[in-house]
Chain A
Amino acid sequence: MTSFDPHAAWRRTPSVVLRPEPFGALVYDFGSRRLSFLKDLALVRVVEALNRSASALAALQVAGIAEADHPRYLAALRTLASAGTITPRQEAIAS
């Protein structure tokens, strides 16, 4: 279980892949062999933006999430972090 800090840098876990779908994305973790679904197109954009954003909050901006919706998307990211779908990006934290 990873605690979720929205000010920290995050990334899609390297063993996880997303397959775009009309409803969002299929999420497959080659490590745990778990299949899950992102049922929201904007959330897919957020997850894809993590790797090139300085923080989770910055990724919300990149993905064009309105300020009012931030709490819901941060809650979703927290769930993804506890599932291991996203993990802290160490090198960015150090810089």
Chain B
Amino acid sequence: MTLTPARPAVPRLVDQFELGLDAPICLTWELTYACNLACVHCLSSSGRRDPRELSTEQAKAVIDELQRMQVFYVNIGGGEPTVRPDFWELVEYAVDHQVGVKFSTNGVRITPERAQWLAASDYVDVQISLDGATAEVNDAVRGRGSFDMAIKALQNLADAGFQDSKISVVVTRENVRQLDEFQELADRYGATLRITRLRPSGRGADVWDELHPTAEDQRFLYDWLVAKGERVLTGDSFFHLAAFGDALPGLNLCGAGRVVCLIDPVGDVYACPFAIHDTFLAGNLLDEGGFQKVWQESALFTELRSPQTGGACTSCSAFDACRGGCMAAKFFTGLPLDGPDPECVKGNSEHALAGDRTVPATSQDHSRPAAVVLGMPGRPTSIPDRFCNESPL
């Protein structure tokens, strides 16, 4: 909702946001790289805890600073954040300090007792990750048993009277045709459906070619959002689809380093949750000046808030709608940042995707060894093919 009773004396909101704010509107905070699952598309390549992860006291100091900066809410994720022994303590501390919490979980710690605790606490929002409306589709991405675990968590929340939990879906080629089924699941558990875009970040880079929605799927998704998306949250995730026609609800802007950012488990601050790479690392909040100094003064964020050139996209009729798409998606597919999104609905990236491109090497990986597919004989996988196709440079 935007209220403008007066004449347009101030520029458009989007223009204001592109120049950045003194504090983020909200941010994502990954509390740990530890995870009980090993999803094939994990944005943060999570699995093992990092020994440098913030202590309870350090995490509380971050919350104090977010309160001072009036960051009203944080999206807590990981890894699986609830496996941190101090997780519930930190949630309580944040809520007591005017920092609302929405946390993402695979459901592993959402017991009936915990669901009751959550139902009794205001200002906490729970988001259960599910990447298939059936166990078959979900478990292929998130691991065996993960569908049942998520459904059990949703059931526990509903039984406890928790209002309006979220079901969070990363849209893939395998599940895009299940959107109606996801909505039915959400209705069954009194939940709201949230769908977001598959990013080629973290381990997602290894599976993006196979899992990202085809051009036909994207059209289907857009039409579905226009027809039925009113009750669905998207985290402003699909603004690249705005080039199909009408803009989708939301800001339709890349907020990286302007209105959002990511704090990782060791206190590193990145431009956005989909950009965990040295190229988008603004600083560490344990350094002098804390998070505020990184947000307000880092060279990277200053650069992101300066006027951007649209490059090859500026001559496109849809540029005002999609603004060139997602920076992280371009970066991790080896495309130029001032060119079209790899999923450009006008097809303007097809040529670049088909040509020579170098996908950037990861700069951190906390995957558990067991989760790494080695491509040994007798263990067929498509992943080594991809490496072989890469230029050795």
Contacts and interface: CB of A to CB of B under 8 A. Distances in A.
A23 B13 contact: yes
Contacts, number: 73
A17 to B, nearest CB: 7
Contacts of B5: 40, 43, 69, 72-73, 75-76
A35 B25 contact: yes
Contacts of A22: 10, 16
A72 B6 contact: yes
B178 interface: no
B185 interface: no
Given A31-B122, A33-B125, A19 B3 contact: no
B72 A35 contact: yes
Interface in B1-54: 1-6, 10-11, 13, 16, 21-23, 25-26
Interface of A is mostly: mixed
A8 interface: no
B10 A17 contact: no
A39 B26 CA distance: 18
A2 interface: no
A21 B69 CA distance: 12
Given A35-B72, A37-B13, A80-B3, A26 B25 contact: yes
Nearest to A72: B5
Interface string B108-151: 00000000000000110100000000000000000000000000
11 contacts: A21-B22, A24-B10, A28-B72, A33-B100, A33-B123, A33-B125, A36-B2, A39-B10, A40-B5, A69-B5, A72-B6
Interface of B: 1-6, 10-11, 13, 16, 21-23, 25-26, 70, 72-73, 98, 100, 102, 122-123, 125
Interface of A: 17, 19, 21-24, 26, 28, 30-31, 33-43, 69, 72-73, 75-76, 79-80, 83
